[in-house]
Every structure is written in C-alpha cells, then in structure tokens.
Amino acid sequence: MSRNQARVQAVSQIVNRKPIDVTMPEPLSKIWASDVFNLSKMEEALSKNAFKALKTTVQTGAPLDAATADVVAAAMKDWALSKGAKFFSHIFYPMTNATAEKHDGFIITNSDGNQITEFTGSLLIKGEPDGSSFPNGSLRMTNAARGYTAWDPTSPAYIMHTDNGSTLMIPSVFMSWTGEALDKKIPLLRSNSAMNKAGQRVLSLMGETDVAALNSSCGAEQEYFLIDSNFANSRPDLLLAGRTLFGSSPAKGQQFDDHYFAAIPERVQVFMQDLEDKLYRLGIPAKTHHNEVAPGQFEIAPYYEAANIASDHQQLLMTLLKLTAKRHGFVCLLHEKPFAGVNGSGKHVNWSVGNATQGNLLDPGSTPHDNINFLLFCGAVIRGVHLFGPLLRAVIASASNDHRLGANEAPPAILSVYLGDQLERVFNDIKEGKLLKSEVGGFMDLGLSQILKFERDPGDRNRTSPFAFTGNRFEFRAVGSSASVSGPLVAMNTMLADSLNWIADKLEAELATGTSKPVAAIKVLKELMEGHSNVIFGGDGYSSEWHRIAVEERGLKNLPTSADALPAFRDEAVVKLFSSTGVLTPVELASRFEVYSEQYLLSIEVEAKLVVDMATTMIYPAAVEYLSQIASTASSMAALNITLDSSVASAVAGEANAMMAAVATLSAALDAHDFDSTEAHMQYAASTLRSLMVEVRGHADTLETLVADDLWPLPKYSEMLFIK
C-alpha cells in the first residue's frame, strides 16, 4: 500500500472510530491518591516515632536517620506488594527535560533457591544507575560513569500502573560519584532552601516572631495537541522531531476563534476523563481542562502545590498524557510549535511563596499599601527580574520554544514585569516617596437583575507580558510546553533569594540607625524602585515600539533565540548569583550551559536531516509522479487534438527543482563543523541552518497546493487538526 493510500485509509478509520469504553464508577473520595504512599498511609503503616521523624523531614527538610529509613522501606515494600507491584524504581530527572527510571525487582533468592522479597533502608536511600549515557556537561569523563540516585522523602512514592505491570516509583535526586548535581531536582531543593533562609531574614527584621519554613508553590498550565496516531505515525517529522517540518496552512485554521473553550469532542472528552482518573489516583490535582485556541489543541491545569512536588507531578503528567493518548489512538504532541500558522503550546508557570504562619507572601490583600511584607517580597521579584532577565530567558531556551516566543500566542523574548494598574500605582508612589491608599476594583454591575454583582479585580490581565502578577502570584508565561518546570522554578527562587538578602542587608543598615520598621521598609523599596522600575511594563508587549523602548531606553535585553539566550549561563553575575546562594557551583552551572547548548544543536541538526530526507524521498517523488501523470494525460489529449494548460506542470517542475537545489545547499551546510566556540556553532544553527530549512519548506508547501491530493504522501494540516 502506498503512503497516499494509507493516508486515505487512515481518514476512513478515524471517522468511523468509536471512543473506547472508560467507566469510572468510583467516587473521587475513594480514588484520590489511592496509589500514593503519602503521609496518611505512612501514619497507618509506621510506628509513632518513625512517622513523627518522617513527617518532620517532609515538612521541614530535617535529616532522616538510617534506622527510620529501614522502617519506612519495609512499610513501603508491604504497601507496594499489596498494590500488585513486583518492581521498584528510583525515578529521576536528568538535564534533558526528560524522565529517567531504572527498575529493580523486590525478589531475591535464599540459599535454598526459594524466592523472598527484600527492600531495605539502604536500597530505598540509594540507587546506583550507570550514569555514563546521561548528559553531564563535562562534569566527568566517559570512563567515570558512576552516578547515584538518592531518595527524596519530601516527595511521596507512588505506584505506576501500566499494561506491563505495576511498579513502585521513588522520586529521587541524581548526582555524580563526586557529588555534583546531574539533575533538575537537586538545584530546585537547594533554591527553595536559599529562598527560605533569605525570606526568614526579611520577616524577622520586620518583627515577625513566629516564622514557619517558607516554600515556593507552583501551578503549571499544560497545553498540548492531540493527533490521531494514524496520521502521526505517517509523519517522520512528528515521530522524530515532534513537529511538522512541512505542511501548507489549510483554508481554515484558527481565524474564526471558534475552538477556544468550544465543546470538547467526544473522543477527546473520554481521553480527558481517563487521564484525570489516573491523575487523581496519583494525587495530582487536575482542576481544569478545555479546548485551547488552535484546532486540535487542549489544556489541562492542576491546582497549586509545593514546588518540588509540583515539579515531580508535572513530569508525571507529561508521561501520562502520552501514555493515555496512545491508549485512545492519539499521539500527544508537547512540542511548542508542532504546526506552523496556528498557536503553539506553552506551560504557564504560576509561582508564589509562602508559609504556614504568614500565608501567601505574594498576596496583597485588599489594602496592598498597608501590607509591608507583600510589598517587600513583590519588590524583591521586580528587582530579580530586572537583574536576571537574561537568566529567565535562558532557562526557557530550547530549539522548540524559539518557534513561539514573540509570536501572537506567546510573550516576547524581552523579560518585563506586569503588575496591573493598582500595584503599579502603589510602587510608583513608593518611588516618588509617598504611599497613598490604593483603590479597589469596584463592582461589576451589568444592569441585569438575574446576574449578581461581583467584585471586580483591581487590574486587568496582560497576555503579552512574559512575567505577570495575577492577583496573588506571578505567572511566568514564556515557559515551553515540553519543558520541565524545575529550571524556571530554580531561577525564580534563586533570584528571589538574592533580592531578599539585598533587602535584608538594607533593612539591617536602616534599622541600626533607629529608623522604624515601616519607614525603613519604604526607604529600601524606594531605592529598589529607583534602580529597577525599568522592568515594569503594562502595555502591548508585541508592539515594535515596546521592543525599541525596552532596548534603547530601558536597557533591557532582547534575546530572540536560544543561541542568544543560553550564554547567559556564563555571565559573571549569574555565576555569582548561583554560587553565593549555594544553588549551583560554577562547575555545575557551566555543565548546564554545555548540556543545553548540545541539546539545542542536536535538535536543529535532527530537523535539518529530516528535511533533507523527507524532501528527497517523499515530496520530490510525489511531484515527479504527478508530472508523469500530467505528461501522460497531455499526450493522450494531444492525440484527440485537445491542448491542456501547461502552467500547473511548469509550476510543479519549477518548485520541485528549486526545492532540490535548496536541499543540496542545506546538505552542504550540515557538513560545516569548523566553529571557534559553542556560541558560534549555535548562531550558525539558528541563522544558516534554520533559514535553509525554511527555504526548503517554502517550496515543498507550495508543491502541496499543486500536486494532486491523492498523490501527496503526508497527512495534511486539514486532516490532522480537524479530524478527531
């Protein structure tokens, strides 16, 4: 069967497909976290002393002794076996944005050859995978392969059920034999510790006597595409690169604005219900799902959790999206821009900081002008974004995210802060040396008796801002849909820690002179705003005027590509930021630049090779076959004295030849390997390789509009996006 015949058959199969039967008779109260070894299950399974010790570790980060670990391991094993698990795995998150796991059996044999199960505290605490094939950024030589996984008791273990069986999954950190962080979790835990320490300093200086440990929280809105597997499996670009490298825009895309929040297709609704049942059993608080802006695009948003657990849950969510989609005959695409011409996918990371005693420290309350703690923490964020905007751009940098940043569906690559009208007035007043009462938003009254009045927010939203205050948190809107949220969280926590330490130093100096706490705080905030208010912007972030003002008048950096952004990891100020807070050593930070740069280059090179291959072996033959059919038909018609219009054949031949000439140029460009630095290599990939790929695609997409539909070898946008 030819590819085009398979494509036609796929459409028929999809149209006639019925949603799989998914029944969820059990109530939420029964299934919630049923597959999680959380504190409530630990309390039932552990002795009082063991549970008390573990609870203290979970809530405060206090060390856990080996004897308690043995007790926990035994209870965890018994619970896992009762859930049908025969294997356990330390699950960890290397520097690739992916999830890694190595499975081991509970089973061992005794001297008689009989099976017994074993799972000790030492097995729980430490695993030893072969680390040689994980990116390490030159932290060790290839022959020095040993790495360790170590149990993170602050993130609960859980059971992962698949068709192949059940496995106990143990969230873990991953480090080299010499102790350097090789993963995403260690820096996140360190950054939260640094932020907690700095935050406690500020709160203590402001007179707070009862201060619980501070923790950052995260709620990440995950966007994704669902494409029928019949289509996706016929596209080498989707399978290997995650996005379509070819594809002409259909007559209808998203221009009617009829997909956003529209009725969810039945088959997709069944998929969502199945997914959420799995999420609830794993204690992941999926709260919202809906159609997104682009056809075929959807979103799921969990409720807020502690950052470390939220990060683990985000990785698990992405895994379950793909596994559940496969069960329903879909392929879930997490690439930031899988289809040209329609909106790409992001992962808006909602981030806040708080504790059990002071609550959410980024909640202004109804009178933010009186909420000094809020003003100090919010001011610290403003300073951090201004000083470390390039770092924030670097932690969201990837070859895939470059396709959406700055376009209509994503914020620009210039990092600015949106506060809203009310807060912006408050901070401007502080800058001018005054602090007036702020206005509330008022009430919304539509003049309809059946619609109740409700309190309006004091400020509107700004969808063009990359870093926006949204009521009681900041929303980092530029994060890519396929990314781990750990990188952004590490950067935000660390820059906040640095700014809080700066504020604490300033407060100590002011208070030492006898200045009262409120006056000292306002003086420090005034100095902060005088130095860093340039980063505050509430206008249209997409406008060319803002790009000019931001760079020329405000001194902000515009870093449109990852090639421009990733070198920020080498900036002296960024190296000092991470080393002074104890989050990353200079060597660990340098390794991240090397790993992320390599990932960027490999992604583009894989795409370029795919462009050459698909154009040569799929698209060009389709064009030649069509020309052959036209020539044969023209010859038959000429025998009947009928002349056919030759313009289509000429256009096809012209585009096919031009495409192959561009392919030859791209192939030659791929062989260039003489670069003075990694930065130069990335710039070459960003400019030369990407532009040549676009040139090949332009000719190929034009051919798609000329070649007979039944000869075209690739599923088209109109099919993939609209047929569910």
Of 161, 234, 202, 552, the residue nearest 379 (C-alpha): 202
Residue 337 and residue 223 share a domain: yes
Q: Is the pLDDT of residue 174 over 70?
A: yes
> What confidence tens digit (pLDDT) does each residue in 577-592 have?
999 999 999 999 999 9
Question: Do 531 and 443 sit in the same domain of this protein?
Answer: yes
Say whether both 110 and 215 belong to one domain: no
* Encoded amino acid at 30, one letter: K
Mean pLDDT (whole number) for 51-58: 88
What average pLDDT does the segment 111-126 reach? Answer: 68
Q: Does residue 285 sit within a domain?
A: yes
Compute the CA torsion angle 82, 83, 88, 90 (nearest 10 deg): -120
Phi first, then psi, for residue 174 (nearest 5°) are -135, 125
- Nearest 10 degrees: CA dihedral of 344, 297, 310, 76? -130
Q: What average pLDDT does this structure show over 691-719?
A: 96
Helices (H), 328-477: 372-394, 421-431
For 396, other C-beta atoms within 10 Å of its C-beta total 27
- Residue 454 pLDDT grade (very low, low, confident, very high; cuts 50, 70, 90): very low
Residue 278 lies in a domain: yes
4 pLDDT above the threshold of 70: no
pLDDT digits (tens, 9 = 90+) for 65-105: 888 888 888 899 899 999 999 889 999 998 888 888 888 88
Q: Identify the pLDDT of residue 141.
A: 58
Instruction: Please check the confidence at residue 387 and state whether its pLDDT lies above 50.
Output: yes
* Final residue belonging to a domain, choices 136, 155, 183: 183
Statement to judge: residues 293 and 440 lie in one domain: yes
Q: Looking at 567, 583, 599, which one is the last position of a domain?
A: 599
* pLDDT tens readout for residues 511-528: 999 998 988 999 999 999
In a domain, 152, yes or no: yes
pLDDT class of 458 with cuts at 50, 70, 90: low
If DSSP codes are grouped into helix, strand and coil, which group holds residue 184?
coil
**3-state secondary structure at position 451:** coil
Lowest mean pLDDT among 158-167, 268-277, 498-507: 158-167
* pLDDT at res. 436: 52
Residue 447 has pLDDT above 60, yes or no: no
Same-domain status, 423 and 305 = yes
Query: Which pair of structure tokens corresponds to residue 78?
Result: 């018994």
Query: What pTM did the predictor assign?
Result: 0.92
> Is 80 inside a domain boundary?
yes
For residue 617, is it within any domain?
Answer: no
Do 140 and 270 lie in a common domain?
Answer: no
Query: Phi and psi of 84, rounded to 5°?
Result: 95, 5
H helices within 35-142, ranges in order? 39-45, 48-60, 66-82, 121-125
Of residues 518 and 22, more confidence is placed in 518
Does residue 330 carry a pLDDT above 50? yes
User: What confidence score (pLDDT) does residue 455 get?
Assistant: 47
Average pLDDT score over residue span 436-463: 48
Confidence of residue 452 (pLDDT cuts 50, 70, 90): very low
Residue 381 lies in a domain: yes
Are the C-beta atoms of 459 and 326 separated by less than 8 Å? no
Whether the Cβ atoms of residue 373 and residue 263 lie closer than 8 Å to each other: no
Contact in structure between 577 and 459 (CB atoms under 8 Å): no
Do 700 and 659 touch, CB atoms closer than 8 A?
A: yes
Tokens of 424: 């912006």
- Rounded Cα distance, 482 and 337, in Å: 10
Query: Are 200 and 504 in contact, with CB atoms under 8 Å apart?
Result: no
How many angstroms separate the CA atoms of 189 and 200, rounded?
Answer: 17
Residue 572: other Cβ atoms inside 10 A: 7
Which residues constitute the domain of residue 83?
A: 32-183
Q: Which residues fall within 8 angstroms of residue 421, CB to CB, at 6 or more apart?
A: 458, 459, 460, 538
Q: Which CATH number fits the domain that encloses residue 287?
A: 3.30.590.10
Return mean pLDDT, the chain: 88
* 346 and 491 inside one domain: yes
Please indicate, yes or no, whether residues 283 and 147 belong to a single structural domain of this protein: no
Instruction: Identify the weakest region by mean pLDDT among 43-57, 452-466, 627-641.
Output: 452-466
CATH number at residue 62: 3.10.20.70
CB atoms within 10 A of CB 270: 17
Same domain flag for 443 and 469:
yes
Q: Confirm whether 271 is domain-assigned.
A: yes
- Where among 569, 599, 629 does a domain terminate? 599
| Per-residue pLDDT, 313 | 97
- Per DSSP, the chain holds a count of helices (H) and strands (E) of 24, 21
Q: What proportions of the chain, in percent to the nearest 5, are helix, strand and coil?
A: 50, 15, 35
Structure tokens at 29: 């109260």
- Does 103 lie in the same domain as 245? no
**pLDDT for residue 640:** 81
724 domain residue, yes or no: no
Please give the pLDDT value at position 158: 96
- Inter-residue contact 528 to 382 (CB < 8 Å): yes
How many residues would you count in the chain? 724
Q: Please state the domain count of the chain.
A: 2
Task: Kindly report, residue by residue over 119-165, the tens digit of the pLDDT.
Answer: 777 778 877 766 666 767 666 655 566 778 888 989 999 999 987 78
Structure tokens at 501: 């330490």
Q: Are residues 115 and 205 in the same domain?
A: no
Structure tokens belonging to residue 495: 């820059």
Between CA 217 and CA 405 the distance in angstroms is 25
Q: How far is residue 690's CA from residue 677's CA, in Å, rounded to a whole number?
A: 19
Helix, strand, or coil here: 374? helix
Contacts (Cβ under 8 Å, ≥6 apart) of 201: 500, 501, 504
